[in-house]
Structure 1
Amino acid sequence: MPTSTPGRLGHRAATAVLLGTAIFLTACGTEHATGSAAGAAPSPSASSVPTASPASPYVEPGAGDGAPHYRENNGFRIEGEMSPADAKDAKKEADRIEPVIKRLWEEKKWDPASVRAALLGLGYEEERHGPKGERLGGTLTVRELDSRWETDHYVRPEGAEVALRVHEDACVTAFVQKTNYQVTTNGLYPEGGCFQPAAGH
Structure 2
Amino acid sequence: MRMQTLMPGAYRHSVATALLLGAVVSLTACGEQSGTDVAANSSTTSPSSSSSSPGASPYVEPGIVDGAPHHGDNNAYRRSGEMSAASAKDAQKEADRIEPVLKRLWGQKKWDPKSVRAALLELGYEEERTGPKGERLGGTLTVRKMYPRHETDHNVTPEGALIGLRVHDDACVTAFVQKTNFEVKTNGPFMESGCFEPPYGH
Q: Same fold (TM over 0.5)?
A: yes
Residue of structure 2 equivalent to 1:53? 53
How large is the RMSD of aligned CA atoms in angstroms?
A: 2.3
Q: Distance in 1 between matches of 2:64 and 2:136?
A: 32
Q: Distance in 1 between matches of 2:151 and 2:191?
A: 29
* 1:124 aligns to 2:120 (yes or no): no
SS of the counterpart of 1:166? Answer: strand
The structure-2 alpha-carbon separation of the partners of 1:200 and 1:178, relative to structure 1 and needing over 3 Å to count, comes to closer
* 1:89 aligns to 2:90 (yes or no): yes
Please, which runs of 5 or more residues in structure 1 have no aligned partner?
Answer: 1-50
| Contact map agreement 1:76 1:200 (CA 8 A) in 2 | no
Residue of structure 1 equivalent to 2:74? 73
Q: Distance in 1 between matches of 2:201 and 2:181?
A: 28
The structure-2 alpha-carbon separation of the partners of 1:111 and 1:77, relative to structure 1 and needing over 3 Å to count, comes to same
CA shift, 1:150, in A, is: 1.6
| Contact map agreement 1:98 1:183 (CA 8 A) in 2 | yes
Please, which runs of 5 or more residues in structure 2 have no aligned partner?
Answer: 1-50
Q: Distance in 1 between matches of 2:99 and 2:168?
A: 19
SS of the counterpart of 2:162? Answer: strand
Q: Distance in 2 between matches of 1:157 and 1:52?
A: 43
SS of the counterpart of 2:90? Answer: helix
Residue of structure 1 equivalent to 2:188? 187
For residues 56-83 of structure 1, the C-alpha deviation after alignment (integer angstroms, 9 at most, x for no partner) is 5533356575322222221111111111
| Contact map agreement 1:76 1:199 (CA 8 A) in 2 | no
Which amino acid in structure 2 is aligned with residue 53 of structure 1? S
SS of the counterpart of 1:105? Answer: helix
CA shift, 1:191, in A, is: 2.1
The structure-2 alpha-carbon separation of the partners of 1:65 and 1:94, relative to structure 1 and needing over 3 Å to count, comes to farther
For residues 116-138 of structure 1, the C-alpha deviation after alignment (integer angstroms, 9 at most, x for no partner) is 01000000000000011100010
Q: Distance in 2 between matches of 1:183 and 1:139?
A: 16
Residue of structure 1 equivalent to 2:101? 100
Q: Distance in 2 between matches of 1:64 and 1:168?
A: 33
Moved segments of 4+, more than 6 Å: none
The structure-2 alpha-carbon separation of the partners of 1:52 and 1:199, relative to structure 1 and needing over 3 Å to count, comes to closer
Q: Which stretch shows the higher mean deviation, 62-71 or 72-81?
A: 62-71
| Contact map agreement 1:162 1:173 (CA 8 A) in 2 | yes
